[in-house]
Amino acid sequence: MRPFHLSLPVADLESAGDFYADVLGAERGRTGPDWADFDFFGHQLSLHLVPGYGADDTTCEVDATAVPVRHHGVVLDPDTWRSLADRLEAAGIDFLLTPRSRFVGEEFEQHTMFLADPSGNAIEVKAFPEGVWR
């Protein structure tokens, strides 16, 4: 699979960069005065400073739960997902939606968690029991 590139606005480049690197484990890459690149689980994430930026907090219902409509994320294998969920819970991360399984026993069964970066950009980290996402 080829790496995907995603560019996100952030209100504070330093705190957002620290969050992606220190909390989610993204490796820091190239950087400029108003932007920074990260290796986000093998994909290129570029953060761009936009003073005063505030993320959209619109939600929709999925499996009887309000989830952020505008979000980005990554699909991990179940063991890596569980390890990250455990590490984030132990660190006291304030989740938008705590780690959980949904659609259990159905075709779309998945493990998911939502959190937000310091600028309010919602992030979903998910895994599928058999690694199938399409």
d(CA 38, CA 47): 8
The CATH number for 15's domain is: 3.10.180.10
d(CA 18, CA 44): 16
Domain assignment of residue 98, yes or no: yes
Domain assignment of residue 54, yes or no: no
pLDDT tens-place values along the chain, 134 residues long: 789 999 999 999 999 999 999 999 999 999 999 999 999 999 999 999 999 999 988 999 988 889 999 999 999 999 999 999 999 999 999 999 999 999 888 888 899 999 999 999 999 999 998 766 65
If asked whether residues 36 and 66 sit together in one domain, one would say no
Percentage, residues of the chain above pLDDT 70: 97
d(CA 115, CA 122): 6
pTM summary value: 0.91
Domain assignment of residue 14, yes or no: yes
CA angle, residues 108, 84, 93, in degrees to nearest 5:
105
d(CA 111, CA 81): 8
Domain assignment of residue 119, yes or no: yes
Domain assignment of residue 134, yes or no: no
What range does the domain containing 14 cover? 5-49
Tokens of 33: 């005065």
Q: How many domains are contained in the chain?
A: 2
